[in-house]
Amino acid sequence: MAASGKKNMFNEATRVQMPAMVHLTRLGYTYFGKITEDMAGTVYDPDTNILINVFKEQFARLNPTHAGEAEQTLKTIYAIL
């Protein structure tokens, strides 16, 4: 039991989210922090939650012979949704 008046120190953020973030950054993933609504359309697409620049960079890296097709692929994804 927690002492009365003392806040519970353990919650989803401390037991799940933070350890997962630490683990994933150690594996080489990049943490982008809070993405705000004013970034919609420039940093990320609000309908798909795709980080636009990251998508384009990784698309070019994974598909070097089709690097210029990232924009069209994004448009295809939007059309499907």
- Give me the mean pLDDT over the 16-40 stretch: 87
Phi-psi region for residue 25, left (φ > 0), alpha (ψ -120 to 50) or beta?
A: alpha
Alpha helices in the chain (DSSP H): 12, 18-26, 52-62, 70-80
What's the mean pLDDT in 49-66? 91
Return all residues near 44 (Cβ < 8 A) that are at least 6 apart: 35, 50, 51, 52
Which tokens hold the place of 69?
Answer: 């097709």
Q: Note if the pTM is more than 0.85.
A: no
pLDDT average, residue stretch 6-24: 85
User: What mean pLDDT is reported for the chain?
Assistant: 85
Distance of CA 79 to the CA centre of its chain: 21
**What pLDDT band is residue 5 in, cutting at 50, 70 and 90?**
low
User: What residue spans define the domains of the chain?
Assistant: 32-80
pLDDT at 1 over 80: no
Structure tokens at 4: 């009365």
Does residue 55 have a pLDDT over 70?
yes
